[in-house]
Structure 1
Amino acid sequence: MVRASGAALCVRKPFRRASAPAARRSGHRVREGSCAWTSTSCYDPNGLLEQALPLDREPYLSLVKAVLAWSGPEPVLQPRDYEQIALQLTGHARAVAGDVRCRCATLPRDSEMRALTEVVLGEAERRLSARPQATVVCVQHLARLVRALYEHLDHLKAAERSAPATTAP
């Protein structure tokens, strides 16, 4: 199945299907008709899919607040839970960074806000390029990154709202 939206293209294709008894013998759970047998690949060079979907901010900010409230390096959760939280925060940080990047592209080349935004995005890319670890420290670093990206996004939105007021006669 192929869906196109502007210049974005999503293709859903089946994986190579193993027989259900063979999959069960190898330890995999099998449900006929489930999404375990398909994959979706998206080609979206212009970021049109990201722009169309608003960010679900509140649940992630609640998660950030909870993660930053942990005190001490001792494990509170199982390592797999830290890994899952790190993956959630990494994915959301990438989405917020994409939104920041789109807003940055609209700023004038010589503006101070654009230079600062490019520095923030460079730091975010550097942090997100590392594989997340299943530790309290790593999860808290990712939570701080998400919080910083949202703060910068808010600054960019405020600058957009005030820009037309300052340029009008």
Structure 2
Amino acid sequence: MHVPDGRPLDREPHMRLVQAVIAGAGHATLPPRDCDQIALQLTEHARTVAAEVRRCCAGLPPDAEPRVLAEVVLEEADRRLAQPHLGTVRCVQMRARQLRALYERLDRLQVAQSAPPP
């Protein structure tokens, strides 16, 4: 899977970061500067994944269930990722969950695209 400029999505390290942020949420305190950096990294990658989700949506009929569900996740991602970084663990967690949701939709879209037509 490649982003528009031809580079592959760097999924694995970002998903490890997502897991660490979500798993360590209850007992970890990160300095605001670290939270800002993590939020920035997750936001930029989420925007890249969202662009790939949009590209995959375009290959499906407008009323296809995977596309409709992906468009709901994209609307939520657009709204949440447009919010400013707050320098908090909660902000980082929200962006981590959003990135995870985008990858889940991308995976389902790719399965739908590879399935034989009914």
Length-normalised TM-score, structure 1:
0.64
Aligned residues: 116
Q: Which runs of 5+ in 2 are unaligned?
A: none
Q: Which consecutive aligned stretches of 4+ in structure 1 deviate over 6 angstroms post-superposition?
A: none
Task: Name which structure has the greater RCO, CA cutoff 8 Å, separation 6+.
Answer: 2
Percent identity of the aligned residues? 54
Aligned to 1:86: 39
* One-letter code aligned to 1:141: M
Q: Which has the larger radius of gyration?
A: 1
Q: Which runs of 5+ in 1 are unaligned?
A: 1-48
- Compute the displacement of 1:135 (Å): 0.3
Query: What is the CA–CA distance in structure 2 between the aligned matches of 1:124 and 1:51, rounded to whole Å?
Result: 21
Query: What is the CA–CA distance in structure 2 between the aligned matches of 1:160 and 1:53, rounded to whole Å?
Result: 21
1:17-63 per-residue CA deviation (whole Å, 9 max, x = no partner) reads: xxxxxxxxxxxxxxxxxxxxxxxxxxxxxxxx625221000000000
Aligned to 1:70: 24
Length-normalised TM-score, structure 2:
0.90
Aligned to 1:129: 82
Matched, 1:105 2:58: yes
* One-letter code aligned to 1:123: E
Query: What is the CA–CA distance in structure 2 between the aligned matches of 1:70 and 1:114, rounded to whole Å?
Result: 33
Query: What is the CA–CA distance in structure 1 between the aligned matches of 2:82 and 2:25, rounded to whole Å?
Result: 26
Higher strand share: 1
Higher helix share: 2
Matched, 1:55 2:17: no
